[in-house]
Amino acid sequence: MSRIFIKGNIAVSKGALDAGCRCYFGYPITPQNDIPEFMSKAMPETGGEFVQAESEVAAANMLLGAAACGIRAMTSSSSPGMSLKQEALSYMAGSELPGVIVNMNRGGPGLGDIGPSQGDYFQSVKGGGHGDYKLLVLAPGTVQEAYDLTFLAFELAFAYRNPVLILGDAIIAQMQEPITPRDPLAVDPFEGGSWRLEGAMDREPRILKSLHLTDGALAGHNLKLQEKYQRAAKECRYEEFLTEDAELIVVAYGSIGRIVKSTIRKLRKEGIKAGLVRPITLFPFPSAILESLAHQGRKFLTIEHNMGQMVEDVRLSICGYAKSDFFAQLPGNLPTPNDFEKPIRDALRS
Amino acid sequence: MEEVLAYESPRLLADKLSHYCPGCHHGTVHKLVAQCLEELNLGQNTICVGSIGCSVFIYNYLLLDAVEAPHGRAPAVATGVKRSRPDKFVFTYQGDGDLASIGLAEIMHAANRGEKISVVFVNNTVYGMTGGQMAPTTMIGQQTTTCPGGRCAEREGQPMKMAEIMAGLGGVTYSARVAVNNIKNFKKAKKALKKVFEIQMAGKGFGFIEFLASCPTNWRMTSPAANKRLTEEMIPYFPLGVYKDLEGDA
């Protein structure tokens, strides 16, 4: 396949298309508007369906409906819109429905701004809506990864019958890079043969629901969901960069992870022994590798484009075995590799 | 003497005890839905979108594939179902709190888009399952647990007339209001419901039917008194009839 030069938003859209997405439901919000714009043309051209919903609430519920039919479907949004989608995501997790959701994270809380941020980490990996549930969360650090992880998102959504979130940010969304696309997948347009809705067809009716009123039923259901999330631990993915001899492990994800990589590359030339662990799945979180590095006596520095969220998961992973610092890149602006030199030097000295 | 079977329960209706209160019309409407689906031979091809409140249990009574929608969102869920499976027959079943309050945006936009779905709306002027609070359709002067002094237009606004509102939207092919308070109205209701379903079968846009229903428990009335209230108070404010029929014979 020849290389193409595209924006992160288009990479996710094209990734969805090539991964067999048949329905897209969305609502405009900056900085992800390229996705509904792309899909409004691509879906009808390929025999799929595009609906510009009346709200993010409706778009997420349309996704729920399509998911119940075993269709590969997607919605996308950005931070304030994601808050509105949470109700449907909770129902989808509760009803065990597969779907792909994209959040191009912007600055908050509230209307915040349209610049990049990682302020939605908690919302993304800790449930987001009501009840005991998890989304599987994938965090691309490059435009190529945004494309590739969209394939993975659909695969995981159906393998686990759970919503999968692609968590990018305004940098990934708007940045253009060359990528190598794959051959489009030939997928069964109606996956989930054993559970999808299609009319009762001379068999027992199938009911996809999250209501469990009989004694002990909800407890059993919640336990089943938790077992599923534990099973998903094997889907954990991360990038390790120069960690072998590193005295300091920087933990950073998404765009920030990629920028930190440049900083480390530069500092290495001065003999500064820093390495990077860049989580690619934020849930399941790559705790095992962090714990193992902690036992080897490394120091830790978490860098995030927020006031400190993933750092809590880093600290839980290393269980107090290692020193752990945090650097907050304030949201809403675009950091450069130079911005992270001082925090890395400071963490090494401390 | 030979026995002749005069009446049979629809096969799509599950043979189980109803959880609905005595005098509630949900059971009757469920039966009508089952009858119409069966007479149109739709049971094997139908996807039901359930909602919230007393009617959430529709999937326990109708032997159909079903998905449960969050509060008010059934028309959006049904949009996702129908857009991904245009070959399937799709209907929502919603109460007044669900459809006319929290889900007003979803019902109006699905209707306006002309989604090829059928909407069965059961209006009993009160929130049933949550214990009798005020609904958008609660009538002026009607006492509920959240308007104990009776609904007052100045404070709480006027009851919403959904069949008329739906009729005003471009994507709607058919909108009617019916009741099952007596045999005559029951027969008319069945005819209208069948029409709603036939419109979807013909791929001719959005069909809406509002059932006036009684809720003796939350109206604090006996069943006969509730039926009387429906006849004498509800029907004059929410007149029965066909408000839009682009297919003719209105």
B196-244 per-position pLDDT tens digit: 999 999 999 999 999 999 999 999 999 999 999 999 999 999 999 999 9
Tokens of residue B229, six digits:
């209230």
Contact A61 B67 (CB under 8 A): no
Contact B67 A68 (CB under 8 A): yes
Q: List chain A pLDDT tens, one digit each, 350 residues.
A: 799 999 999 999 999 999 999 999 999 999 999 999 999 999 999 999 999 999 999 999 999 999 999 999 999 999 999 999 999 999 999 999 999 999 999 999 999 999 999 999 999 999 999 999 999 999 999 999 999 999 999 999 999 999 999 999 999 999 999 999 999 999 988 888 899 999 998 899 999 999 999 999 999 999 999 999 999 999 999 999 999 999 999 999 999 999 999 999 999 999 999 999 999 999 999 999 999 999 999 999 999 999 999 999 999 999 989 999 999 999 888 999 999 999 999 999 98
Give A 47-86 residues with CB within 8 A of chain B: 49, 51, 53-55, 57-59, 61-69, 71, 73
Give B 72-91 residues with CB within 8 A of chain A: 73, 76-85, 88-89
**Residue B248's pLDDT band (cuts 50, 70, 90):** confident
Q: What are phi and psi of A3, to 5 degrees?
A: -70, 145
Per-residue pLDDT tens digits for B79-119? 999 999 999 999 999 999 999 999 999 999 999 999 999 99
User: Please, how many CA atoms are within 13 Å of residue A249, restricted to the half-sphere of its CB?
Assistant: 29
Kindly list the distances between the CA atom of residue A190 and the CA atoms of A186, A198, B92, in Å, as whole numbers in the listed order.
12, 10, 22
Contact B78 A65 (CB under 8 A): yes
Q: What is the pLDDT of residue A273?
A: 98
**Distance in Å, alpha carbon of A13 to nearest chain B alpha carbon:** 18
**Distance in Å, alpha carbon of A62 to nearest chain B alpha carbon:** 4
Contact B43 A209 (CB under 8 A): no
Kindly list the distances between the CA atom of residue A159 and the CA atoms of A63, A107, A162, A163, B117, in Å, as whole numbers in the listed order.
17, 32, 8, 11, 30
User: Taking a C-beta distance cutoff of 8 angstroms, is the pair A261, A320 a contact?
Assistant: no
Residue A164 touches partner B, C-beta closer than 8 Å: no
Contact B78 A208 (CB under 8 A): no
What's the predicted TM-score (pTM) here?
0.97
The residue ranking higher by pLDDT, B1 or B54, is: B54
| Residues of chain A contacting residue B59, judged by C-beta atoms under 8 Å apart | 205, 207, 209
**Distance in Å, alpha carbon of B136 to nearest chain A alpha carbon:** 21
**Distance in Å, alpha carbon of A188 to nearest chain B alpha carbon:** 13
| Residues of chain B contacting residue A95, judged by C-beta atoms under 8 Å apart | 67-68
Length of chain B as a residue count:
250
> Residue B250 above 50 pLDDT?
no
Contact A61 B77 (CB under 8 A): yes
Contact B67 A207 (CB under 8 A): yes
Kindly list the distances between the CA atom of residue B150 and the CA atoms of A226, B220, B226, in Å, as whole numbers in the listed order.
47, 14, 17
User: Taking a C-beta distance cutoff of 8 angstroms, is the pair A303, A278 a contact?
Assistant: no
User: Taking a C-beta distance cutoff of 8 angstroms, is the pair B46, B64 a contact?
Assistant: yes
Q: What is the pLDDT of residue A333?
A: 84
Q: Determine the 3-state secondary structure of A105 from DSSP.
A: strand
> Residue B165 above 90 pLDDT?
yes
Q: What is the pLDDT of residue B249?
A: 52
Contact A199 B70 (CB under 8 A): no
Residue A322 touches partner B, C-beta closer than 8 Å: no
Contact A57 B43 (CB under 8 A): no
Contact A61 B81 (CB under 8 A): no
Q: What is the pLDDT of residue A286?
A: 98
Which chain A residue's Cα is nearest to B46?
A199
**Distance in Å, alpha carbon of B40 to nearest chain A alpha carbon:** 14
| Residues of chain B contacting residue A201, judged by C-beta atoms under 8 Å apart | 44
**Distance in Å, alpha carbon of A32 to nearest chain B alpha carbon:** 21
User: Taking a C-beta distance cutoff of 8 angstroms, is the pair B60, B16 a contact?
Assistant: yes
Which of B177, B180, B237, B241 minimizes the C-alpha distance to B210? B177
